């Protein structure tokens, strides 16, 4: 006892006791962590437990547990009660709320407002999830999450960045009427069913709507959608139809990029509006519909790329108008792009395969003329011109008969009988024919 007391007195006199030193180290560590990473600690504390729900959140949990729609617009007259914290929403969707067992009907929410950032990365969600007419004011991140049923954001608004990077949806995803005011990232997203984004709006004029390497197992509809900035569908793969009927690409400087896109079904831009640039380089589809597309008003520079585009069928209007419309489009775009013979040869092959030799010849001759204008020089240029004038590059062989008759008639004028004299009078004949 005496020795222990002496030791304790000595420690107090010259420093801290071991227990006190440990406590001090912990306190100093916490202070240092808070100073260096305050946001991370606050986020961790927020995500550890959302705590007691607000009255509006309590209504949400009760409706979800009962398998009913949580309609905040009808049930909550006070706008403040419509606000749901991101932390509670994360716990609800992740299934970690102890005060709510999700009904087999899933999570059906309408009219909520989420003001802080939603972080649902790498989460597996087995239920149907539907957000209708909701508003997300902060960043939303669903990167690499897996939704085993349907996911819907119909009529909702994302005011900040929205990331669906590498997200997997085992059924369908519905973005009908959804508004994306910030960067919308759907890169590498996989949808086993269909993607329905009719009337969706991507309103940021500079930030792209990114669908790079998107994979859709069913149809993908963007009918009447609005793209205020660039749109990127490069390397995407759609198993069935891809529709942009009535869609509007309103950016004069933005690129609508569909390069190396693969669609096992049809692609349609019917009645779409394009104000800027469009690239379909190396894209592949069964059929392509460009009927009644409103193309850019100005085209003094490169604005359309079709080289490498592969299809079985292509149309731009009625059967009678289609070839003429396509010829006008390709000819107009050609003056602002580098020469590529495959654009013409594929159109020529398509019409020849479908039994329209006149239209096929039209594209073939146009290709040869552009080749002469931009590639050939010297004797090859002169020979190409000769073939064009005399036989239409072999597509108008009847011209040879015309030119032959013209040469013969010209000879009859030059070698008229009255201007001819026999070289040997002894061999003169009674009559002479200029033919």
d(CA 250, CA 296): 10
Give the pLDDT confidence score for residue 20 in this predicted structure.
Answer: 59
Give the pLDDT confidence score for residue 153 in this predicted structure.
Answer: 98
pLDDT 10s digits, 3-18: 444 444 444 344 445 6
Residue 34: pLDDT band (50, 70, 90) is: very low
Residue 53: pLDDT band (50, 70, 90) is: very high
Q: Please determine, for residue 279, whether its predicted confidence score (pLDDT) is greater than 60.
A: yes
Give the pLDDT confidence score for residue 2 in this predicted structure.
Answer: 43
Mean predicted confidence (pLDDT) in 303-322? 92
Give the pLDDT confidence score for residue 269 in this predicted structure.
Answer: 97
Which of 98-102, 126-130, 131-135, 165-169 is least confident? 98-102
Spatial CA neighbour of 244 closest among 283, 214, 274, 286: 274
Give the pLDDT confidence score for residue 37 in this predicted structure.
Answer: 45
Give the pLDDT confidence score for residue 341 in this predicted structure.
Answer: 79
Q: Please determine, for residue 305, whether its predicted confidence score (pLDDT) is greater than 80.
A: yes
Residue 405: pLDDT band (50, 70, 90) is: confident
Which of 16-20, 104-108, 162-166, 421-425 is least confident? 16-20
Residue 301: pLDDT band (50, 70, 90) is: confident
Let me know: does 59 contact 75? Beta carbons within 8 Å. yes
Residue 47: pLDDT band (50, 70, 90) is: very low
Give the pLDDT confidence score for residue 196 in this predicted structure.
Answer: 98
Which of 39-48, 75-84, 132-141, 406-415 is least confident? 39-48
pLDDT 10s digits, 206-251: 999 999 999 999 999 999 999 999 999 999 999 999 999 999 999 9
Mean pLDDT, the chain, integer: 85
pLDDT 10s digits, 340-373: 778 888 888 898 888 888 888 888 888 787 878 7
Which of 48-52, 182-186, 301-305, 329-333 is least confident? 48-52
Q: Please determine, for residue 81, whether its predicted confidence score (pLDDT) is greater than 60.
A: yes
Residue 13 is encoded by which pair of tokens?
Answer: 């006199």
Q: pTM for this structure?
A: 0.79
Give the pLDDT confidence score for residue 433 in this predicted structure.
Answer: 65
Q: Please determine, for residue 40, whether its predicted confidence score (pLDDT) is greater than 50.
A: no
Mean predicted confidence (pLDDT) in 15-30? 59
d(CA 57, CA 65): 12
Phi, psi of 87 (to 5 degrees): -60, -45
């Amino acid at each position: 006892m005496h020795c222990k007391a002496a030791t304790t007195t000595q420690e107090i006199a010259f420093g801290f006791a071991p227990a006190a030193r440990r406590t001090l180290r912990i306190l100093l560590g916490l202070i240092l962590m808070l100073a260096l990473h305050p946001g991370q600690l606050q986020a961790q504390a927020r995500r550890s437990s959302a705590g007691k729900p607000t009255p509006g959140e309590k209504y949400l949990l009760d409706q979800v547990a009962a398998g009913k729609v949580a309609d905040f617009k009808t049930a909550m007259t006070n706008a403040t009660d419509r606000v749901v914290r991101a932390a509670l929403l994360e716990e609800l969707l992740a299934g970690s709320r102890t005060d709510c067992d999700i009904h087999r009907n899933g999570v059906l929410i309408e009219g909520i407002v989420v003001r802080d950032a939603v972080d649902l990365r790498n989460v597996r969600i087995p239920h149907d999830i539907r957000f209708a007419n909701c508003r997300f004011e902060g960043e939303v991140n669903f990167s690499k999450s897996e939704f085993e049923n349907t996911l819907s954001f119909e009529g909702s608004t994302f005011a900040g960045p929205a990331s669906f990077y590498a997200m997997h949806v085992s059924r369908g995803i519905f973005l009908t009427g959804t508004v994306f005011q910030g960067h919308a990232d759907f890169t590498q997203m996989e949808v086993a069913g269909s993607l329905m984004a009719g009337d969706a709006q991507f309103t940021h004029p500079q930030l792209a709507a990114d669908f790079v390497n998107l994979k859709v197992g069913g149809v993908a509809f963007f009918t009447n959608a609005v793209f205020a900035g660039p749109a990127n569908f490069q390397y995407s793969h759609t198993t069935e139809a891809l529709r942009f009927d009535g869609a509007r690409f309103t950016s004069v400087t933005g690129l609508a990029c569909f390069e190396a896109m693969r669609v096992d079904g049809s692609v349609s831009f019917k009645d779409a509006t394009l104000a800027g640039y469009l690239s379909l380089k190396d894209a592949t589809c069964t059929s392509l519909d460009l009927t009644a597309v409103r193309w850019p008003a100005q085209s003094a520079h490169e604005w359309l790329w079709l080289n490498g585009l592969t299809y079985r069928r292509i149309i731009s209007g009625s059967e009678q108008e289609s070839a003429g419309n396509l010829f006008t489009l390709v000819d107009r775009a050609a003056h602002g792009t580098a020469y590529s013979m495959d654009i013409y040869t594929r159109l020529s092959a398509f019409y020849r395969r479908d039994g329209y030799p006149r239209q096929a010849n039209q594209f073939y001759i146009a290709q040869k003329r552009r080749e002469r204008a931009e590639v050939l020089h010297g004797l090859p240029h002169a020979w190409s011109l000769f073939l064009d004038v005399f036989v239409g590059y072999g597509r108008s062989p009847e011209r040879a008969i015309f030119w032959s008759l013209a040469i013969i008639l010209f000879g009859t004028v030059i070698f008229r009988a009255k201007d001819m004299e026999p070289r040997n009078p002894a061999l003169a004949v009674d009559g002479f024919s200029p033919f």
